[in-house]
Chain A
Amino acid sequence: MNLRDSSSWILRALWIQRTRTLLTIVGFSIGIAAMVLLSALGEGLRLFVLNEFTQFGSHIVAVTPGKTETFGVAGLLNTTRPLSLDDASAISHLPNVEQVVPVVMGNAKIKIGHRARYTDVAGVGGAAVSGWKLELAEGTFLPQDDLQRPRSLAVLGHTLRQELFPGTNPVGEFIRIGGERFRIVGALEPKGEFLGTDLDDMVFIPAGKGLQLFNRQSLMEVDIFYNPRSTSTAMAERISRLLIERHGFEDFTLVTQDQVLATMDNILLVLSLAAAGLGAISLLVGAVGITTILMITVTERTAEVGLLRALGGTVSTVRLLFLGEALVLGLIGGICGVLLVIALLLITWLFIPGLPIALSPIIVFGALGIAILIGLLAGSQPAARAARLTPIDALRAE
């Protein structure tokens, strides 16, 4: 039996039982759609988070004081091993280092006349504007002067500016931050949140001033932006050697952007897979549907199979015919499922345009591949049953 004959046989068989075929395809395509949709959601989330992390570029090394590997918190705590502004300026003299941003964060009361607002204060260096990709709405950012001799200058985040200076230009005005007077030199465009920290409701002051204000000896973090010509391992090693030389031993933690991304990517990949797995349950039920229907079909068409065998059809022909039927059901179900998802996504995008859903070709073709595979698996048992029929018995079944 050639390909054309067998395909027309399969299609006719499916067409004769239209209702049955349709329902099977509907069930299976809902399963596929559930899986595709959830994978797309997981993938979208993954891309969103990765994007969030790479928005500052990927050539970054962060140094925090202390050697404990407590992801994130260690820098906030007190330490007996401070990371100083001197360390930051020493790092900035290393080759291939483009920018160094010392960071100390805190919380203080901002006052202008009778208006007051408690908010986050970021003590940073002048390089933060380019390093953190901040955009100025008004004035200039903090000047890139000597870290050790900070001036009382401040830059307002967008929300803070709206609250304290609604409708007026704040540049040149004086504000009090925790009792100290600062001159405003600039205001920022909206930037949004980063890892739960609202960068708009924040005032930026020189790191040295921040250390004084909060009575701390140690910076919380030093961000080092390096030249893309250098590698993260080479940079990490060079910084590590310098700091060990300065401190006597290794009392700091170095995290490169690559490490962070690799860790995040792993976690998110697991999340994506879990989401796909959740969708796969429905697909499993859909597969059971295909098996059931084909089982019934085989029983109903026993006589037909007998005739085919009597006319010289081989065992493998019979098996291939039924497998083909399963495959077509799976494929059409898969295509319908994908189309269903695309339609759903288009509708969703009309209402919620910002939703992080990424329907990549990998997911689409992966889903079609899985659909075909599952169709074949579901069809294998009925096909084997059909192939086992002996022609005589099968013919007699009429």
Chain B
Amino acid sequence: MQLYDQLTFNRQIFLRHRMRTFLLLLAVAIGVASVILLTSLGEGARRYIDREFSALGNRLLVVLPGRKETTGGAPPIYGSVPRDLTLEDANALARISGVLAMAPIIAGTTSVARGSRSREVITLGTTDAFFRVRKMDVGSGARLTARSQTEALAICVLGITLKRELFGSERALGEWVRVGDRRMRVVGVLEERGESLGLDMRDLLLIPVRTAEQLFDSPGLFRVIMDIAPSADSARIEQKILDTIGHRHDGDQDVTVVSQDAMLAAFNNILTAVTLAITAISSISLLVAGILIMNISLISVSQRRSEIGLLKAIGANSKQIKQLFVGESLMLISMGSLAGIAFAFSLIVIVTRLWPAFPLWPPVWAVPAAVLMAVLTGLVFSITPARRAAALDPVLALRGLQK
């Protein structure tokens, strides 16, 4: 029996049982589509975070004051330590070779007021390097000037939401606002941009770092973020940072350095694990579809008893009969898989059109893995029915009798 013959043979059967075939295809398609869609969700989340991080350039180091001995635990997030990490420390770190830019950050909350309007916002005391390190820019006006590294200038840059709340549609540049107990002139407004690494860039106030020292009456930096050269060895720089701080702090290396690579790797590991778990769960539906295929094949074998008898009587051997039934399952599986893939991808395309911000797309292995799993279940579950068909006695089968 040639392949063409077999395909025609199976096609006739599918056409004869349209409803049944349709339902089987549906079952397989649901399984395949769910595997693809769910892995896409996991992969989309991974890509989203990846993109968030790489928007900052992928060579970023964050220095936090404080240190913890427990390996693998969370870094010290509080930012309060007996010996502050100061701006002078940060300037020393900036001189390490391989460090392209360094932005010190003093973080706090304060109220910003203009006339009777007032708003409590997160305030970052930093320098012009912050814009470079965080790859962001002002939408209008100017950034913090280079002088903000050394002088407590009374200037500030507003986030876009903060600007709208205080000024509405009026012009903010050059106007004065009251920040805490000081007056500051607005020199710039940040460009429209959403949350970045958990910090809402729209509702934010940027002031020079020296001004923040005075405003919060504390020289303690909350974080130091730095951009390092693509060619630099980040492990060496991390060690250099610890050494520098050790020198300046009487031998106490009381800071923690977190590299962007390490953060990204941690996120990647978690999300890959979640994606794999979701894949495993959704492939249960393929198992259920496989059982359904076996059930239908068994029914089909018993219904087509005389047909099989005839085939055997005109010379078909057991192997060919087996092939016929396994082939039938495989055809169903491949058509179902195709339908599932088509459905999954059209849904993905629709979703990405509606929410372009979320990069929903299956990982490269998802489609082959889903199809492979479907084909394997199809093979495994069609073996029993095919064996049963092949074992039929031609004479009895032709008469339509049980063995």
Contact A30/B288 with A77-B222, A80-B180, A288-B30 known, Cβ cut-off 8 Å? yes
> Which A residues are in CB contact (< 8 Å) with B79?
76-77
Q: Is A117 an interface residue (CB 8 A)?
A: yes
CB pair B285–A282 under 8 Å, yes or no, is yes
Complex contact A106–B80 (CB within 8 A): yes
Q: Is A214 an interface residue (CB 8 A)?
A: yes
Q: A198-B73, A216-B218 are in contact. Are A68 and B109 (CB under 8 A)?
A: yes
Which of B38, B65, B68, B285 is the most central at the interface, judged by chain A CB atoms within 10 Å of its CB?
A: B285
B83 in contact (CB, < 8 A): yes
Cβ-neighbour of B81 out of A26, A27, A107 (below 8 A):
A107
Residues of B within 8 A of A34 (CB): 281, 284-285
Q: Which chain B residue shows the least CB distance to A201?
A: B70
Identify which of A28, A77, A118, A292 contacts B109 (C-beta below 8 A). A77
Judging by beta carbons under 8 Å apart, are B294 and A79 in contact?
Answer: no
| Chain A nearest Cβ from B157, distance in angstroms | 18
Interface contacts (Cβ under 8 Å), in number, total: 195
Tell me, yes or no, whether A108 is within 8 Å of chain B by CB: yes
B275 to chain A, nearest CB (A): 13
Closest CB pairs A-B (n = 6)? A178-B82, A107-B66, A78-B108, A106-B80, A78-B216, A66-B109
For A253, the closest partner residue in chain B by CB is B120
What A residues does B110 contact at CB under 8 A? 79-81
| B window 91-116: CB within 8 A of A | 106-111
A residues in contact (CB < 8 Å) with B: 19-20, 23-24, 26-28, 30-31, 34, 38, 65-68, 70, 74, 76-81, 104-109, 117-120, 159, 163, 177-180, 196-198, 201, 213-217, 220, 251, 278-279, 281-282, 284-286, 288-289, 291-293, 295-296, 300
Whether the pair A282, B288 counts as a contact (CB closer than 8 A) is: yes
Q: Is the CB of A77 within 8 A of B76?
A: no
Query: Once the chains are docked, how many angstroms separate the CA of A106 from the CA of B69?
Result: 14
The answer to whether B324 has its CB under 8 Å from any CB of chain A is no
Q: Is the CB of A27 within 8 A of B109?
A: no
Closest to B28 in A: A285
Q: Which residues of chain A are within 8 angstroms of B217 by Cβ–Cβ distance?
A: 217
Contact B291 A292 (CB under 8 A): no
Residues in A with CB closer than 8 Å to B281 are 34, 38, 278-279
B177 smallest CB distance to A (angstroms): 14
**A216→B220 CA distance, assembly (Å):** 10
| Chain B contacts for A78, CB-based, 8 A | 106-109, 212, 216, 218, 220, 222
Least distance between A157 CB and chain B CB atoms (Å): 12
Chain A residues with CB under 8 Å of B303's CB are: 300
